[in-house]
């Protein structure tokens, strides 16, 4: 039998501390859509997605109402388009991006991920065409997200791709400059990308996945912060235990939603992503969780240790609550999507160097960071290289989603709108990395890749 | 399907009567009621059961309870009990 305290606790988490399920993402394989004729390919992709995901949004909304918990996003991820379109006669893949955009809008999801290429070790012709299409694809579509894997622990880092992605980020910013370079907010550059990530902008449906799968990303930084308010001044053993217990409860809800959704949609349950994903709303911030541990403002010394504890405790608590855990699993630190991070950048306590250190122990990487519009392509490439090196050596996923906002300088405020949030432009090193990036080639896989 | 109905708001005469009437009309059997008054605030958690499985029935009930909540000046929520079992019970 349930007791009254449990019921009121759950509802207080939802209504006072913004507990929600962040996303139900349907992964859809497009390998069956392959066709040599470009127009046919686009038609088949549109038809397949709209058929598979037809009931996704309505089902998500029904579960939301019945359980009384908000499910913020319903999304679709697809097979990397560089693979799907490789055998077609298309010279550029913008028409495919447009077909994806139309399909996503028809089914009513708010983002679709998978305009992607995986080039950790080298390019195929399809990869080359896809990457070249990214700026225009992101400028001419609204809800298509793109990602490129440029390195991994097993393969090392493809420095030619790193150099190219710096230029692609700049071109995307230029083509979407009227919207403060919004296109760059839909582009993620990965090291060790995962094939079952339900979160945007980096979601894609890997080729090792089945025909389709339902994955769920949970959230709840507000709930964790509230729980920590109850253990003020206590030692870290108790902090870790409190986070674990809270993460367990949050994840159980995610597991329930995932089971219900996969059953009703007749799709395989993929994974639960054990994540703490912030939003710009007050009371939904990962930075505020770190500050609750005793850091005056996020970025001060101690922040990395606090984040390491948080990230680990979230996983430990969530693991037992779910039958399959995957995705990126951990605490996200997207600057513009987190009120505490935004304030920390504005007051000067958080800078790019500290963010880079934090990415060694968080779930992903440098995320949703506005940098000056005049930042060179080579500097962006060098930021990507640093981040990829952290991922490669530490055997974890890292990513870069930076937005060089044209005509904006350090301290200027940039507004992306909605869940993408807003943030002040952050400074980058004024010293050049151009000669380093110009070398190209590959950084060899590290010795720790040889695990057999 | 088991339901949890929570009512929170300023106390007044007839809240339980009015909520029970809506539940009876919607064929929801009441399994238990926990209710107290804290600082003038009315808190009630009611467990109910209905043979209806369909979501449309729950939606209609939620709508009706929400209208009633507005009339009474209290917040009424009806949720599938599974979310509470999942969060607070293992197994």
For chain B, give every domain's residue range: 2-88
Half-sphere exposure of B51 (CA within 13 A, CB side): 2
Residues in chain A with CB shorter than 8 Å from the CB of B88 are 2, 6, 9-10, 249
pLDDT, tens digit (0-9, with 9 covering 90-100), for A364-395: 999 999 999 999 999 999 999 999 999 999 99
The model carries a pTM of 0.94
Which pLDDT value is given to residue A116? Answer: 98
CB contact under 8 A, B79 and A67: yes
Which pLDDT value is given to residue A5? Answer: 86
**A253 in the same domain as A170:** no
- State the smallest CA–CA distance between residue B32 and chain A in angstroms: 10
A172: how many CB neighbours lie within 10 A of its CB?
Answer: 26
**A239 in the same domain as A187:** no
Q: Could you give the number of structural domains in chain A?
A: 2
- State the smallest CA–CA distance between residue A274 and chain B in angstroms: 15
Residue A433 confidence class, pLDDT cut points 50, 70, 90: very high
**A224 in the same domain as A186:** no
Residues in chain B with CB shorter than 8 Å from the CB of A220 are none
In chain B, which residue's Cα lies nearest the Cα of A59? B55
Span A283-309, average pLDDT: 97
In our burial notation (b when 16+ CB lie closer than 10 A, e otherwise), range A240-279 reads bebbbebbbbbbbbbbbbbbbbbebbebebbbbbbbbbbb
Which pLDDT value is given to residue B38? Answer: 79
Option in B6, B86, B89 nearest A255 (CB): B86
Residues in chain B with CB shorter than 8 Å from the CB of A60 are none
Task: Select from A99, A124, A128 the least CA-distant residue to A30.
Answer: A99
Which pLDDT value is given to residue A55? Answer: 97
CATH number of the structural domain B2-88: 3.30.70.260
Span A118-144, average pLDDT: 98
Which pLDDT value is given to residue B20? Answer: 95
Residues in chain A with CB shorter than 8 Å from the CB of B32 are 1
Token pair recorded at residue B88: 């607070």
Residues in chain B with CB shorter than 8 Å from the CB of A10 are 83-84, 87-88
User: Can you tell me the distance from the alpha carbon of A399 to that of A189, in angstroms, rounded to the nearest whole number?
Assistant: 5
**A397 in the same domain as A293:** yes
Span A234-241, average pLDDT: 98
Q: Does the pLDDT of residue B52 top 80, yes or no?
A: no
User: Can you tell me the distance from the alpha carbon of A358 to that of A129, in angstroms, rounded to the nearest whole number?
Assistant: 34
Residue B56 confidence class, pLDDT cut points 50, 70, 90: low
**A174 in the same domain as A95:** yes
Residue B90 confidence class, pLDDT cut points 50, 70, 90: confident
In chain A, which residue's Cα lies nearest the Cα of B87? A249
**A154 in the same domain as A272:** no
Q: Does the pLDDT of residue A415 top 90, yes or no?
A: yes
In chain B, which residue's Cα lies nearest the Cα of A1? B85
pLDDT, tens digit (0-9, with 9 covering 90-100), for A185-235: 999 999 999 999 999 999 999 999 999 999 999 988 999 999 999 999 999
Which pLDDT value is given to residue A294? Answer: 97
Residue A13 lies in a domain: no
Span B68-80, average pLDDT: 94
User: At which of A159, A191, A223 does a domain end?
Assistant: A191
Mean pLDDT value across chain A: 96
User: Can you tell me the distance from the alpha carbon of B18 to that of B10, in angstroms, rounded to the nearest whole number?
Assistant: 15
User: Can you tell me the distance from the alpha carbon of A83 to that of A59, in angstroms, rounded to the nearest whole number?
Assistant: 30
Residues in chain B with CB shorter than 8 Å from the CB of A62 are 55
Task: Select from A147, A152, A121, A118 the least CA-distant residue to A390.
Answer: A152
- State the smallest CA–CA distance between residue B87 and chain A in angstroms: 5
Option in A4, A62, A253 nearest B83 (CB): A253
pLDDT, tens digit (0-9, with 9 covering 90-100), for B31-45: 999 988 877 788 999
Length of chain A, in residues: 452
Chain A interface, mutation test: which of B5, B86, B90, most A Cβ atoms within 10 Å? B86
Q: In 3-state terms, what secondary structure has residue A396? A: coil
Q: Does the pLDDT of residue A430 top 80, yes or no?
A: yes
- State the smallest CA–CA distance between residue B37 and chain A in angstroms: 13
Mean pLDDT value across chain B: 90
Residue A411 confidence class, pLDDT cut points 50, 70, 90: very high
Q: Which residues of A touch B (CB under 8 A)?
A: 1-2, 4, 6-11, 62, 65-69, 249, 252-253, 255-256
Residues in chain A with CB shorter than 8 Å from the CB of B86 are 252-253, 255-256
Query: By the 8 A CB rule, do A144 and A101 touch?
Result: yes
B25: alpha, beta or left? (left if phi > 0; alpha if psi -120 to 50): alpha
Query: By the 8 A CB rule, do A331 and A316 touch?
Result: no
Residue A19 lies in a domain: no
Of A305-319, A387-401, B51-65, give the lowest mean pLDDT range. B51-65
Task: Select from A357, A310, A363 the least CA-distant residue to A334.
Answer: A363
- State the smallest CA–CA distance between residue A12 and chain B in angstroms: 12
Residue A391 lies in a domain: yes
Q: Write the DSSP string, B6-62.
A: EEEEE--TTHHHHHHHHHHHTTPEEEEEEEEEETTEEEEEEEEE-S---HHHHHHHH
Task: Select from A60, A36, A110 the least CA-distant residue to A216.
Answer: A60
Chain A interface, mutation test: which of B87, B88, B91, most A Cβ atoms within 10 Å? B87
CATH assignment of the domain containing A33: 3.20.70.20
Q: How many CB pairs under 8 A join A and B?
A: 59
User: At which of A191, A222, A239 does a domain end?
Assistant: A191
**A121 in the same domain as A237:** no
Handedness of CA A146, A151, A155, A160 (dihedral sign): positive
User: Can you tell me the distance from the alpha carbon of A444 to that of A33, in angstroms, rounded to the nearest whole number?
Assistant: 35
Residue A228 lies in a domain: yes
Q: Does the pLDDT of residue B58 top 80, yes or no?
A: yes
Q: Does the pLDDT of residue B51 top 90, yes or no?
A: no
Half-sphere exposure of A374 (CA within 13 A, CB side): 8
This complex has an ipTM of 0.89
pLDDT, tens digit (0-9, with 9 covering 90-100), for A329-361: 989 999 999 999 999 999 999 999 999 999 999
Q: What angle do CA A207, A211, A217 make, to 5 degrees?
A: 80
User: Can you tell me the distance from the alpha carbon of A369 to that of A342, in angstroms, rounded to the nearest whole number?
Assistant: 10
User: Can you tell me the distance from the alpha carbon of A15 to that of A3, in angstroms, rounded to the nearest whole number?
Assistant: 19
**A277 in the same domain as A167:** no
Which pLDDT value is given to residue A311? Answer: 96
Q: Does the pLDDT of residue B17 top 70, yes or no?
A: yes
**A280 in the same domain as A345:** yes
CB contact under 8 A, B87 and A252: yes
User: Can you tell me the distance from the alpha carbon of A371 to that of B23, in angstroms, rounded to the nearest whole number?
Assistant: 57
Residue A281 confidence class, pLDDT cut points 50, 70, 90: confident
In chain A, which residue's Cα lies nearest the Cα of B58? A66
Task: Select from A387, A356, A313 the least CA-distant residue to A150.
Answer: A387
Q: Does the pLDDT of residue B53 top 80, yes or no?
A: no
Alpha carbon distances (Å) from A193 to A78, A145, A327, B20: 14, 15, 9, 53
**A378 in the same domain as A257:** yes
Q: Which residues of B touch A (CB under 8 A)?
A: 4, 6, 32, 34, 43, 45, 47, 55, 58-59, 62, 77-89
Q: Helix A125-140 vs helix A159-175: angle between axes, to the nearest 10 degrees? A: 20
CB contact under 8 A, A2 and B55: no
Q: What angle do CA A105, A111, A114 make, to 5 degrees?
A: 105
B42: how many CB neighbours lie within 10 A of its CB?
Answer: 18
Span B53-76, average pLDDT: 88
Alpha carbon distances (Å) from A305 to A57, A390, B21: 39, 17, 55
Span A240-261, average pLDDT: 95
- State the smallest CA–CA distance between residue B70 and chain A in angstroms: 18
Percent of all residues in chain B with a pLDDT value above 90, rounded to a whole number: 71
- State the smallest CA–CA distance between residue A319 and chain B in angstroms: 13
- State the smallest CA–CA distance between residue B12 and chain A in angstroms: 21
Domain interval for residue A165:
25-191
Which pLDDT value is given to residue B36? Answer: 87
Query: By the 8 A CB rule, do A66 and B3 touch?
Result: no
């Amino acid at each position: 039998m349930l007791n009254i305290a449990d019921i009121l606790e759950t509802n207080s988490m939802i209504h006072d501390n913004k507990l929600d399920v962040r996303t139900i993402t349907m992964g859809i394989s497009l390998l069956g859509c392959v066709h040599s004729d470009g127009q046919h390919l686009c038609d088949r992709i549109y038809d397949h997605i709209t058929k598979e995901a037809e009931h996704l949004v309505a089902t998500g909304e029904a579960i939301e109402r019945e359980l009384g918990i908000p499910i913020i996003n319903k999304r679709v991820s697809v097979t990397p388009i560089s693979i799907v379109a490789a055998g077609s006669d298309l010279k550029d893949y913008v028409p495919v991006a447009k077909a994806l955009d139309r399909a996503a809008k028809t089914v009513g999801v708010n983002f679709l991920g998978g305009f992607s290429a995986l080039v950790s070790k080298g390019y195929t012709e399809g990869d080359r065409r896809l990457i070249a299409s990214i700026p225009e694809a992101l400028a001419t579509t609204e809800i298509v997200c793109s990602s490129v894997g440029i390195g991994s622990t097993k393969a090392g880092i493809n420095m030619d791709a790193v150099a190219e992605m710096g230029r692609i980020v700049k071109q995307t910013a230029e083509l979407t400059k009227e919207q403060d370079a919004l296109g760059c907010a839909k582009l993620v550059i990965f090291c060790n990308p995962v094939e079952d990530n339900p979160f945007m902008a980096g979601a894609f449906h890997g080729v090792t996945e089945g025909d389709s799968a339902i994955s769920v990303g949970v959230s709840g930084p507000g709930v964790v912060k509230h729980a920590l308010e109850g253990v003020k001044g206590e030692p870290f053993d108790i902090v870790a235990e409190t986070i674990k217990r809270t993460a367990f409860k949050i994840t159980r809800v995610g597991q329930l939603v995932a089971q219900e959704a996969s059953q009703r949609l007749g799709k395989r349950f993929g994974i639960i992503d054990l994540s703490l994903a912030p939003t710009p709303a007050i009371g939904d911030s990962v930075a505020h969780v770190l500050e609750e541990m005793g850091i005056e403002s996020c970025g001060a010394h101690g922040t990395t240790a606090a984040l390491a504890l948080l990230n680990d405790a979230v996983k430990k608590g969530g693991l037992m609550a779910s039958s399959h855990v995957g995705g990126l699993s951990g605490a996200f630190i997207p600057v513009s999507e987190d009120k505490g991070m935004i304030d920390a950048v504005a007051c000067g306590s958080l800078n790019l160097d500290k963010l880079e250190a934090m990415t060694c122990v968080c779930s992903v990487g440098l995320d949703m960071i506005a940098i000056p519009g005049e930042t060179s392509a080579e500097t962006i490439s060098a930021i990507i290289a640093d981040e990829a090196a952290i991922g490669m050596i530490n055997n974890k996923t890292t990513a870069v989603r930076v937005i060089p906002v044209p005509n904006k300088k350090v301290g200027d405020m940039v507004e992306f709108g909605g869940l993408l949030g807003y943030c002040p432009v952050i400074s980058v090193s004024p010293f050049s990395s151009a000669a380093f990036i110009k070398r190209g080639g590959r950084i060899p896989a590290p010795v720790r890749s040889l695990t057999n | 399907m088991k339901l949890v109905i929570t009512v929170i708001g300023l106390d007044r005469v007839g809240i339980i009567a009015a909520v029970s009437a809506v539940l009876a009309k919607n064929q929801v059997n009441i399994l238990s009621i926990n209710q107290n008054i804290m600082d003038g605030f009315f808190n009630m958690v009611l467990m109910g059961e209905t043979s209806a499985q369909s979501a449309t029935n729950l939606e209609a009930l939620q709508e009706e309870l929400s209208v009633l909540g507005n009339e009474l000046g209290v917040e009424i929520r009806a949720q599938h009990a599974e979310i509470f079992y999942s969060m607070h019970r293992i197994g």
